[in-house]
A and B are shown apart, each in its own frame.
Chain A
């Protein structure tokens, strides 16, 4: 029988039992739909994370204090306060692979403006910080070198802080109080939204590093140093250079461990990727199981169908159908059934992904390769699970099949 006729016969048989065909396909539909939806959403979420990390500046390098080691008991990162303001100066003067360097003092403070107050994070930084973070001042101005040197009591507010403390009013020139220290608001940052971890990036106040260190903190150690390398490719070189400079600055002997650690954004990206990679393997396993279950469903129904249509098979054989004709008829039917299920599942999955994506406000990234693979795989499932029933049909004895009631 010609291929076209085979497909027509298969479609006719499938359409003839609409409800049964649909229920048979349901296993495959649900399996493919859930996997396509989850993979599209997962890929979308991953690209969201990556673009957010990139928006923080891919050239960014963060230097954190090292861990303590008292008699073999090692504390976590940052348990010793090894970074000083002079380290920032050394790096600025000597590191040829760095364009910007900024100190970072992190504080969590109650901030008062007029009769309202708000608890927010206060970061002591240098003017270069905004360049490192690709951040801009949307109103007013940022502080300059002179103000840092003078430990000036000036502050730049994030959007969230402005809303909480001033509502719709223009905060420029207003006085705010951080702990007991009065500050003058000189600028407002542009909005950055949430970061990859869901934290509000706009809920902060930037003040000069020296002001934070000497007026709000212990005046000794800083929490981190942020820097940007000249290019993304130069990050590794820049990290080596930073290591050398800081070891000299900290007077570390050869063989002694670093008392600081250096991290960059690409590590964060690869970490996020490895998480989603694990997720993808899990999804593939779910897909495999659901396709297996769907395939067994197809085999089950095809076996019923072969028994039901024994007489039809007998008639076809009497009219001159060879065993292989019958085999192909049922094989094509099973394959079309599962392929149709795969395509319906694909469409359903995409629809579901876009629906969920718009509900959760994340991007959806359908993977063409994955979708083609899913549909291809479902047709393989059809061939695999359709083969046994089809062979059973092909091996029927025509005389007995014709007599079958």
Chain B
């Protein structure tokens, strides 16, 4: 079953006289339960694609189907509801509400849920924080938490709505390598439990912890690789703790031809 289907999606930004083709004819399918990363230099269109996948931006042409819903031509309010129910965001800069407790941060998306399908948001938020091992820090505000802990609060916030997919934008970009391994270990754990995760990164060793790497350049997908020697973040973390260096660049194999 496909969680994400992009068919010939293009995005054009029009600023005055300039037309910028941020995405041109992108096709992408993500199955339920996958964990994959999108790589590419800046300007390759990976941020634009993430915005479109996250229903923050609309496509110029093409079709986007998320969890069986055609979202490419929904109105802003419907997009807001889709974001709320189907998508969990994890950002590079954590993007937690300042001076607001971890519990209230995680509870926030449930308060915007119009269907009120979750009866006790507070309990659900506490359970999500428990899941990311922050059960003892419910009342801490972001400034009282380390970077890794803040990112785990953000992951709990993404998880709490039980979304179809978690979209992570450079989730380890602001973290040291050890904490990065912690976060990737958490992502791998969640994926093993069946959570679909798509992350954007430009660090190959981070991408090596995912199953699949999408390579982008100039608004096009130029490679779709299956990771052969997938890393185990928990094992690497243990190795770092005992003093050995982490794994090297991932070995990959071409799965589909991307020649245009």
Which A residues are closer than 8 A to B by beta carbons? 1-2, 5, 12, 16, 311-312, 314-325, 398-399, 402
Contacts and interface: CB of A to CB of B under 8 A. Distances in A.
B95 A321 contact: no
A320 B95 contact: no
B83 A320 contact: yes
A2 B112 CA distance: 8
Given A315-B97, A317-B83, A402-B95, 19 more contacts: A1-B111, A2-B111, A5-B111, A316-B112, A317-B56, A318-B89, A319-B84, A319-B112, A319-B157, A320-B85, A320-B113, A321-B84, A321-B112, A322-B76, A322-B77, A323-B77, A325-B112, A398-B56, A399-B51
Contacts of B108: 316, 319
B109 interface: yes
B123 interface: no
Interface of B: 51, 54, 56-57, 76-77, 80-81, 83-85, 89, 91, 95-100, 108-109, 111-113, 157, 161
B76 A319 contact: no
A402 B108 CA distance: 16
Contacts of A2: 111
Q: Which of B80, B83, B97 has the most CB atoms of chain A within a 10 A radius of its CB?
A: B80
B111 A311 contact: no
Contacts of B112: 1, 316, 319-322, 325
B95 A399 contact: no
| Most central of B84, B85, B96 by chain A CB within 10 Å | B84
B83 A311 contact: no
Contacts of B89: 318-319
Of listed A1, A2, A320, A321, residue having the most chain B CB within 10 A: A320
B77 A318 contact: no
A12 B99 CA distance: 10
Contacts of B54: 318
Nearest to B116: A2
B55 to A, nearest CB: 9
Contacts of A5: 111
A5 B104 CA distance: 11
A16 B89 CA distance: 26
Nearest to A315: B95
Contacts of A315: 95-97
Nearest to B158: A319
A399 B11 CA distance: 15
Contacts of A1: 111-112
B97 A317 contact: no
A323 B111 contact: no
Given A2-B111, A16-B99, A320 B77 contact: no
A318 B83 contact: yes
B215 to A, nearest CB: 23
Contacts of A312: 97-98
Contacts of B83: 317-320
Nearest to B95: A315
CB-CB nearest 5 A-B residue pairs: A320-B84, A319-B109, A320-B112, A322-B80, A320-B83
Contact of A402 (B91, B109, B113, B157): B91
A317 B77 CA distance: 10
B96 to A, nearest CB: 8
Contacts of A16: 99
A377 to B, nearest CB: 31
Most buried by B among A2, A16, A314, A316: A316
Given A1-B111, A5-B111, A320 B80 contact: yes
18 contacts: A1-B112, A315-B95, A315-B97, A316-B112, A317-B56, A318-B54, A318-B89, A318-B95, A319-B84, A320-B161, A321-B84, A322-B81, A323-B76, A323-B80, A324-B77, A325-B112, A398-B56, A402-B91
